[in-house]
Structure 1
Amino acid sequence: MQENVMLVQVLVAVFFYVNCLMILTFLKKEAFRDDTRYILFAQTLFVDSAFMVLSDLLLMGSFYKYPIHQIPCIIMCTILNVLFVCTPLTLVAMCLERYVAICMPLRHADISTSRTRFRGLLIIWSISSIIPLFTLVAYLAVIPSGALLSYTVCSVELMLGKDWQAQARAISFQVLFLFMIIIIAFTYIKIMIAARGASSENKKLTSKGLRTVILHAVQLLLCIMQFLNPYVEMEAWKVDVMVFANVRYSNFIVFIIAPRCLSPLIYGLRDDKFFVVLRHYALCGLDSLLPAMFSKVKVRPG
C-alpha cells in the first residue's frame, strides 16, 4: 500500500507541474487573457490543481490516520466541495462557448465580452458555492457543542453524519448534474447540425468542436462518478480496512486524477496556438534558438 501512495504522489506532482506550466503560458500571452475560451481553460486548470492538492492531502491524512483540528478540516472540506462543483460547471460553460462560436459566429464577438465573462465566472462560482454552503450550515446545526474544538482524521464524509444530510446532498448533486448533462447534449446536437450544413472550410472547425464537446462530456461523466465515491468507500469500510484503502486509492486515480488530466490534453495539446506557446516555455525558449543554431552549421560535402 505504501507503494500505491508514493505512486499517487508522483502522479499528482507531474500533473500539478503540467497545470502550472499551462497557467504560466496563459498568463504570459495577452491574446489568451482576452479570449473567453482560454480564460475558462485557465480557470479549469486552477480549480483542478487546487482540487488535486487538497484531495491528496486528505488522502494522505486518511492513510496515515493523522488527526487535525475540526475547524480547518471543515474549511478544507467546504473548499473541496466548491471546487468539486466548479469543475463540471466550467466544462459546461466551455461547451456553451464552443456552441456560440460555431453556431452563432457573427454574434460571438458581441456575446463574448469582458462583462459577459465576468458575469459568467461569477455565476459559476456562485452556483458552485450553494450546495457546499448548505452542507456546511446543516453540519454546524447538528454538531454537538464543543465538537468543533476536537481533533479528527479529516474526510468529506465527516460533514455527512446524518442520513438526511447525505440524502439532501445527493439529490442536490443529481439535479445539478442532470441539468449539466442536458446542456452538454444540447450543445452537441446543435454543433452536429451545424457541422452537416457547414461548408468545406468550416468542416474542420465544427468537427473539432464536436470532439471537444465529447471529451468534456467524458470529463463530466467521470466527475459524476466521483460523486458516488464516498458511498462506495463507506460500504468498503464495512467489509475490511484494506479493502477500503484499496477502493479509495483506485477511486482517487480513476475519478480524481484522470478527469483532470483530460483538460491539458483537450486544450493544451490539441489547440495549435496554445501548444506552440506552451512548447516555447516548456523548453525555456530553446525551440526558437535551436533552428537558428542548426542553420549556422555548415555541412561539408562528401
Structure 2
Amino acid sequence: MADNNTTTADGGSSSSLQQVNDRIIIVQVMNAIFIYIICLLIFTFFKKDTFLSNTRYVFFAHTLLADCLYLIMTNNLLLLTYFSVTMPAAVCVVLCVLLSELTFVTPLTLTAMSLERYVAICMPLRHGELSTVRRAIHCILLIHSISAIQPIIIVSIFFASVPLGFYTQYKLCSAEMFITHKWQRDLRSVIGQFYFLFMSITIVFTYVRILAVAKEASDSKKSLSKGRKTVILHAIQLFLCLIQLWCPFIEAAILPINLKLYINVRFFDYIVFILAPRCLCPLVYGLRDEKFFLAIKCYVFFGVNKNISPILIYFNEQLCYICLCV
C-alpha cells in the first residue's frame, strides 16, 4: 500500500514537473517570436528618416525598445527563478528597480500617444507647433521620471529597513523581497492605483473626443471603421497594461491560501497581462500601419540583401509608393 502511495506521489510530481516544463517552453517560444518582431520593427524605424521625424513613430519606437528590454529581463528572471539560481541582493535591487520603472513606461507612453492623437485630430492647427520630435524626447524623459517615482520610494524605504550585510547575501530575485512591512505593500498599492486612475481618465477622455471628432469629420465609412478598430485594439492593450499594475496585489492575496493556485495565477498573469500587451503594440502600430508595413516588406525582401539587382529594388520601391497612394 505504501509502495502504491509512493508511486502515485512520484507520478503526480512527474506530471507537475512536466506541466511546468511545458509552460517554460511555451513562454520561451512566445518571447522569441515577440522579440523578433519587435527587433524587426525597431530596425525599420531607424532605417527611414520619415519615421525619425514623426512624433507618433518616435513614441512607437520608444515603446518597442522598452517592451523589448522588459521581455528580455522578465524572461531571464523567470529562468533564474525556475532553476533556483541565486544572485547578490544588490544586483537584484538594480534589476527590480529597472523592471518596476519599465512596467509603467509602456502605459505612460501609450497615454502620451493618445494625447498626441488628440492634438492631431481635435487641435489640427496647433499640431505642428506642439507635436515635434524635440518635445517628444522631452516627454519621454518625463515619462521615465514619473515611472521611477514608485521604485525610488519603495527602494528608499527598503534601504532604511535592512542592514548593509543584506546586500551581499545571495537570494532568489523577486520584487516581494523589498516588502519588509505590510504597510509597504499598501503604499505600493496606493501609488499603483493612482497611476491607474490618472492614465484611465486621460485615455477615456482622449478617445471619446477623438471618436466624436472623427465621426463628424470623416466622409469615408471604411476609414472610420478602420480607425475604430485601431482604437479598440489600442484600448485593449492599455487596459491589459493597466490591469498588470493590480497583478502583484492579487497574487500576494492568493499566496497564503493555495501555492498551486498561486503558481497558476502567476503564469496566467504573465501570459495575459505581460506578454499579450507587448504583442498588441507591434500589431496596432506596426503591422496595421500602411507605411510601416510596406517599409517592413521593402527591407525584408529587398532592402537587407545588397546583392539583389538595383532594378528589382527600384521596382519594389515604386510598388510600395503606388500601394501607399491607393
Same fold by TM-score greater than 0.5: yes
Identity %: 43
CA offset at residue 135 of structure 1?
1.2
Q: Is 1:278–2:261 an aligned residue pair?
A: no
1:70 aligned residue: 89
Among 157, 163, 176, the alignment partner of 2:182 is 163
Q: Is 1:180–2:187 an aligned residue pair?
A: no
Letter in structure 1 aligned against 2:288: R
1:297 aligned residue: none
What is the CA deviation profile of residues 33-61 of structure 1, one whole-angstrom value per residue up to 9, with x for unaligned ones? 00000000000101111111111112112
Comparing 233-242 with 260-269, which one deviates more in the overlay?
233-242
Counterparts in 2 of 1:1-302, with a 5 A limit?
1-200=20-219, 208-285=226-303, 289=312
2:15 aligned residue: none
Cα RMSD, aligned residues only? 2.3
Specify every segment of 5 or more residues in structure 1 that has no aligned partner in the other structure, as ranges: 294-302
- Greater RCO, 1 or 2 (C-alpha within 8 Å, sep 6+): 1
Instruction: Say how many residue pairs are matched.
Output: 292
Find the aligned partners of 1:152 and 1:124 in 2 and give their Cα distance.
Answer: 31
Q: Please identify runs of 4+ aligned residues in structure 1 that moved more than 6 A.
A: 290-293
1:299 aligned residue: none
SS in 1 for 2:274: helix
SS in 2 for 1:176: helix
SS in 1 for 2:163: coil
Find the aligned partners of 1:173 and 1:231 in 2 and give their Cα distance.
Answer: 10
SS in 2 for 1:283: helix
Find the aligned partners of 1:230 and 1:161 in 2 and give their Cα distance.
Answer: 15
Specify every segment of 5 or more residues in structure 2 that has no aligned partner in the other structure, as ranges: 1-19, 317-326
Letter in structure 2 aligned against 1:191: I
Could you tell me whether the CA contact under 8 Å between 2:154 and 2:184 is conserved in 1? yes
Distance 1:193 1:74, change over 3 A: same
The two structures have a TM-score, normalised by structure 2, of 0.83
Could you tell me whether the CA contact under 8 Å between 2:240 and 2:277 is conserved in 1? yes
CA offset at residue 256 of structure 1?
0.6
What is the CA deviation profile of residues 69-96 of structure 1, one whole-angstrom value per residue up to 9, with x for unaligned ones? 1011010000000000111000001111
Find the aligned partners of 1:208 and 1:144 in 2 and give their Cα distance.
Answer: 57
What is the CA deviation profile of residues 129-162 of structure 1, one whole-angstrom value per residue up to 9, with x for unaligned ones? 1111111111111123411110110011111232
Find the aligned partners of 1:216 and 1:24 in 2 and give their Cα distance.
Answer: 22
What is the CA deviation profile of residues 94-141 of structure 1, one whole-angstrom value per residue up to 9, with x for unaligned ones? 111111111122221111123322221121111111111111111111
CA offset at residue 290 of structure 1?
9.2
